[in-house]
Homo-oligomer: A and B are copies of this chain.
Amino acid sequence: MSSFGKIYRVTTYGESHCKGVGCIVDGVPPGMALTEADIQPQLSRRRPGQSKLTTPRDEKDRVTIMSGTEFGVTLGTPIGLTVPNLDQRPHDYSETDVFPRPSHADYTYLEKYGVKASSGGGRASARETIGRVAAGAIAEKYLKDALGVDIVAFTSSVGKAAMPFIRDLQENDTVKPEFYDFLNTIDRPTVDADITRCPHAETAEQIKEVILKKAEEKDSVGGTVTCVIRNCPVGLGEPCFDKLEALLAHAMLSIPATKGFEFGSGFCGTTMAGSQHNDPFVKKNDGSFGTKTNFSGGVQGGITNGENIYFRVAFKPAATISRDQETTSYDGVVGTLATRGRHDPSVVPRAVPIVESMAALVIME
């Protein structure tokens, strides 16, 4: 189904080339100030065409609140949001009628539904994420205003260009104390200061090189987005099937083009000793009870412990590339698929607000 969440629930609609995309956000607390201006910034951060690193396709993505507010204040009733599709050209990619595009959803959609949208990726299109980002922006506003929760994501690697904390974990089975400081202070302006959305200058330079090289090669490259949630209340998450990390994993792997999720020490934690990995409890300088290290990633037994929640999401290289690809047609004939035109050499920088939005939806859930 096209819904996410239990008590704060978003339901989305819209394909790449229909009249519009949108969503209904149910469970929004009443009495909160809310206008389109609270939602638009994250939509604009998600939008293609923001920099020379991303696809030249410029989608305007202007959101309208249809219901659920009056005089700029939420009523506690469902909020309908719509974003018109300005570009409704049917049938943009004609060769894809013959060939299912490799590693796209063309083949699986056709098998599952018996029909598919004639152009673009249908619901697999990245435009589907507009609804989530809009719903996430509302959730973030509530979390920030009511609870002081901060959610910040950033590009942590593209290709082999990775921020130092990733290498520390991979090579030394630990993180430097500076990493915890960084998680405590990183904010969106810092992230957006570079078009890569990587807040480590040296890595950002490498990432730019990687992406531009792939663009030149008419190819694509993947990467990872890391996200931190600060000031999250203690006690979120359920002991068993709905552990907070399970909900986060579900949310993140529902984003198109994702391949993996890890939180806290993640896959690198598997090579550490228990005595090293366990986070000892400490009384902190401010009198609060907490942990000295945070390999647990802010969650123990599926339940938040008040430390920073942080996790990393893997994005594959985008399946749309501008190179010829040898493949096989629906009829079983080997041939060459030449996808024309535009493509996005790396989706990673644009994925940053999507990761933030899905994180906000999980915390609200």
A-side residues, CB < 8 A to B, are 1-4, 6-7, 9, 11-15, 18-24, 26-27, 30-31, 64-71, 73-80, 82, 90, 99-100, 102-105, 107-109, 111-118, 121-124, 128, 157-160, 214, 217, 219-224, 234-235, 238-243, 245-254, 256, 258-267, 269-283, 289, 291, 295-297, 299-305, 314-321, 323, 325-328, 332, 334
Contacts and interface: CB of A to CB of B under 8 A. Distances in A.
A114 B265 CA distance: 28
A253 B259 contact: no
Contacts of A223: 270
Contact of A31 (B67, B113, B246, B264): B113
Contacts of A71: 118
B79 A300 contact: no
A334 B1 CA distance: 47
Please tell me how many copies of the chain the complex holds: 4
A30 to B, nearest CB: 4
Given A253-B246, A303-B109, A267 B124 contact: no
Given A11-B24, A241-B251, 8 more contacts: A2-B26, A14-B80, A70-B115, A70-B117, A77-B123, A261-B262, A273-B317, A275-B325
A71 B17 CA distance: 12
